[in-house]
Structure 1
Amino acid sequence: MVFVLRRLFQAAFLVVVMSVLVFAGLYAIGNPADILIDPDATQAERARLIAQLGLDRPFHEQYFVFVGNVLAGDFGTSFVYNRPALGLILERMPATLELAFAAIVLAVGIGLPLGIYAGLAPTSAAGRGIMAGSILGFSVPNFWQAIVLIMVFSVMLGWLPVSGRGEVGEFLGIRSSLFTLDGLRHIALPAINLAIGHMALVIRLARSGYLEVQSQDFVRFARAKGLRERRIVLVHILRNILIPIVTVVGMSLGGLIAFAVVTESIFAWPGMGKLIIDSIRLLDRPVVVAYLIVVVMIFIVINLLVDLLYSLIDPRIRLDGGSR
């Protein structure tokens, strides 16, 4: 309980600092009125619109008005769309969440067994090939990788569509493109593009963790007892290499949600990434600040869940700093 309260206090402080920095940065970049108001508008019309948007007040007043509205549950109204900023973000969030979920499932589902196999046979041709592929996955720029995927699987082979979310299905009240065949075809390329770099990291972590754990005494004892190698790997070794992988998966999930901007832009995926790019370009301050607050809260929740998951994977870990 002490750990959770401490993390909640840190989270509140982090959100305040972030909101001040972002608000000040957007205030310093320029005046949204210069972009949003027609250059042919009269001075009276310009003054009226600036006052209507609250841009005629000094920075500190604008910020405290924003904070007061946020505490009341109002993140402001978009200058561009004239709709609640939080509503715009939540409207786009499901598409981003399903893309991040699909990417992390691919990264772990493929990267973990490949990494363990590379640890089982580190000197084999397959093991060396897996590690070479992981280095390539780290090195290739995300945007170039996306272009190659589009050229191969969409233009040359014609197997997969290149843009859009596809048909959306519903299961247990949840609407997602993951529930339809057309949706899976549309999400395949952007999910693969997002997953490759994280898959490479999971491969390297799993391989290094396996090589470190397999020489420890409890593994030797399990082999001396005559346990099958499959059981040793899946029960004894896997559990001990999961902690760093859980950390990476947690951080990767937050990163995928926050920084899928390039992939969403290239594949025209209707998620939060394209919205935030357009909002930054148009200096739509309420949307940008609300987006970053939502993303920071997602990171905080994921990190808290990862810390709590540690104690389930390894009961020796105490989050309150005590010992058993």
Structure 2
Amino acid sequence: MPAFLFKRFVNAAGVMLAVAFLAFLTFRFVGDPVELMLNEQASQAQRDELRVRLGLDKGFVLQFATFVGNAVRGDFGISYRNQQEVFTLIAERFPATFELVLVATFLSLAVGIPLGVYTAIRRDSLLAKALQFISVLGVSLPSFALGILFILVFSVTLQWLPAFGRGEVVQLGWWSTGFLTASGRKALILPGITLSLFQITLVMRLVRAEMLETMRTDFIRFARARGLPSRAVHFRHALRNCLMPVITVTGLQIGNLIAFALVTETVFQWPGMGMLFVQAVTFVDIPVMAAYLIVVSFIFVSLNTLVDLTYAWVDPRLREDALSGGANAR
């Protein structure tokens, strides 16, 4: 197990180092930081002073090493647009994105699993076929189109839910939450549903496929032969064996939700990290763009590593395969 852990952490560190290099290239070569931070009236002496202060007078390798060291400490520099520390900006926006992703993940599991079970058990029924067709639409339709449609129906026409913003929030130290206010909970409904629709269809189709495969196994036939009721066979035996891949995919999809929530956040003007990144691209705010890339990649890598470790803990054969594969490669 220690060798397996070491291998996984080395892989994660290598990926993060590659991402840091890409972020550094973005920071270093997409425009001149000095020109972006100073106005046109700045003198050459001011430009040279800022260049020295930013470390741009040093060699490429030394600049990259300094960039990585600062990133490890959470120092991503100063935002060109807001003139604030980038880490502070991301910390302020992260709670909004986290709550949105949390709602979307909950909806994807609470809705997707029951629908997947139903379409597997009643696969020849008219409702199951209709749900299958709707799932194809859910995968195909872009989230921004669904978001605009929801705003048109529920905000403009029916005026039931807010069209943009996060509503009132409560500060709990540095963390801000909308779960504790009525307007905050209402504001979460439309963007949460919009962000979760693709995940709902993904979970539904995955559960359906796993259930159909599990229902053909010998232990399910044996359970039926013992005279167990269909409910016990479906939920106590079949569904329990289907949940591991569902939990795995859901864990990996959390990273996708955080990364690609920027479309939903832009449509609903949700003040999260995705909206911050879109604004950074608009105003060529390179430090924010580089920091967003590193933070999201770190979340991706952490979740992937956690899933690998969970699988290895549940199924020791994966540890043996990983280690034997490494030995054969050598």
The residue identity in structure 2 corresponding to 1:243 is M
1:185-240 alpha-carbon deviations (Å, 9 max, x no partner): 10111111110111111111111111111111111111111222222222211122
Deviation at 1:108, TM superposition (A): 1.2
Tell me the secondary structure at the aligned position of residue 98 of structure 1.
helix
Deviation at 1:243, TM superposition (A): 2.5
Deviation at 1:39, TM superposition (A): 2.8
The residue identity in structure 1 corresponding to 2:37 is L
Is 1:321 the counterpart of 2:320 in the alignment? yes
Distance 1:48 1:57, change over 3 A: same
Partner of 1:23: 24
CA distance in 1, matches of 2:73, 2:253: 32
1:122-154 alpha-carbon deviations (Å, 9 max, x no partner): 111100011001000011011111111110111
CA distance in 1, matches of 2:224, 2:312: 27
CA distance in 2, matches of 1:174, 1:81: 20
Partner of 2:327: none
Partner of 2:82: 81
CA distance in 2, matches of 1:230, 1:144: 39
The residue identity in structure 2 corresponding to 1:158 is Q
Partner of 1:12: 13
Q: Could you tell me whether the CA contact under 8 Å between 2:100 and 2:192 is conserved in 1?
A: yes
Distance 1:230 1:317, change over 3 A: farther
Partner of 2:40: 39
Partner of 1:270: 271
Deviation at 1:317, TM superposition (A): 4.7
Distance 1:140 1:71, change over 3 A: closer
Q: Could you tell me whether the CA contact under 8 Å between 1:164 and 1:268 is conserved in 2?
A: yes
CA distance in 2, matches of 1:71, 1:215: 50
Q: Could you tell me whether the CA contact under 8 Å between 1:23 and 1:285 is conserved in 2?
A: no
Gaps of 5+ in 2: 323-330
- Runs of 4+ aligned structure 1 residues displaced above 6 Å come to 170-174
Distance 1:199 1:158, change over 3 A: same
TM-score normalised to the size of structure 1? 0.90
Partner of 2:166: 165
Distance 1:216 1:274, change over 3 A: same
Q: Could you tell me whether the CA contact under 8 Å between 1:115 and 1:205 is conserved in 2?
A: yes
Q: Could you tell me whether the CA contact under 8 Å between 1:26 and 1:285 is conserved in 2?
A: yes
Distance 1:162 1:58, change over 3 A: farther
The residue identity in structure 2 corresponding to 1:22 is A
1:265-301 alpha-carbon deviations (Å, 9 max, x no partner): 1111111111122223434333333322222221122
CA distance in 2, matches of 1:271, 1:286: 17
1:141-160 to structure 2, matched below 5 A, reads 141-160=142-161
The residue identity in structure 2 corresponding to 1:259 is F
Q: What is the aligned-residue identity percentage?
A: 41
The residue identity in structure 2 corresponding to 1:94 is P
Gaps of 5+ in 1: none
Distance 1:110 1:158, change over 3 A: same
The residue identity in structure 2 corresponding to 1:260 is A
CA distance in 2, matches of 1:251, 1:237: 23
CA distance in 2, matches of 1:112, 1:201: 10
Distance 1:163 1:17, change over 3 A: same
The residue identity in structure 2 corresponding to 1:102 is V
Partner of 1:212: 213
CA distance in 2, matches of 1:318, 1:150: 49
Partner of 1:231: 232
The residue identity in structure 1 corresponding to 2:241 is N
CA distance in 2, matches of 1:74, 1:53: 13
Deviation at 1:246, TM superposition (A): 1.7
CA distance in 2, matches of 1:174, 1:223: 51
Distance 1:316 1:148, change over 3 A: same
1:48-95 alpha-carbon deviations (Å, 9 max, x no partner): 444444445554443222123334553333333333322221221111
Distance 1:170 1:164, change over 3 A: same
CA distance in 2, matches of 1:228, 1:172: 51
Is 1:187 the counterpart of 2:212 in the alignment? no
CA distance in 1, matches of 2:8, 2:281: 30
Distance 1:225 1:24, change over 3 A: same
Tell me the secondary structure at the aligned position of residue 270 of structure 2.
coil
Tell me the secondary structure at the aligned position of residue 259 of structure 1.
helix
